[in-house]
Amino acid sequence: MLPGKSTDCGVTAKDNRLFVEAVLWVARTGSPWRDLPESFGPWNSVYKRFARWSDRGVWHRVFTELAKDADFEEVFLDSTIVRAHQHAAGAQKKRGRKRSGARAVA
């Protein structure tokens, strides 16, 4: 599914796994590309490769293939994980003041 096989033209990618790990690190941490640790390589090279894959639809193909085998057997949700928004705590609604009839006539 990934570009860079020996049958592809151009330079073959030997580090697809490292590259995907770098992209996942950026997605997981929410950090800008410039903060990518040096162990993943130059951040600009990683970003350019990410942009090329995005333009060519590689990410879409990968996620479509992975979604075919989605396994939700190990998903556990309970009240310790799922929390309601603070405004959903059940407080009474504030009601507006009613104007007196005397003011309405004037």
pLDDT tens, position by position, 50-77 = 999 999 999 999 888 888 877 766 666 6
**Mean pLDDT, residues 86-99:** 65
Angle at 43 between CA 38 and CA 49, to 5 degrees: 130
- Determine contact, residues 21/2, Cβ cutoff 8 Å: no
- Determine contact, residues 13/4, Cβ cutoff 8 Å: yes
Closest CA to 42 of 15, 61, 9, 66: 15
| pLDDT above 60 for 104 | no
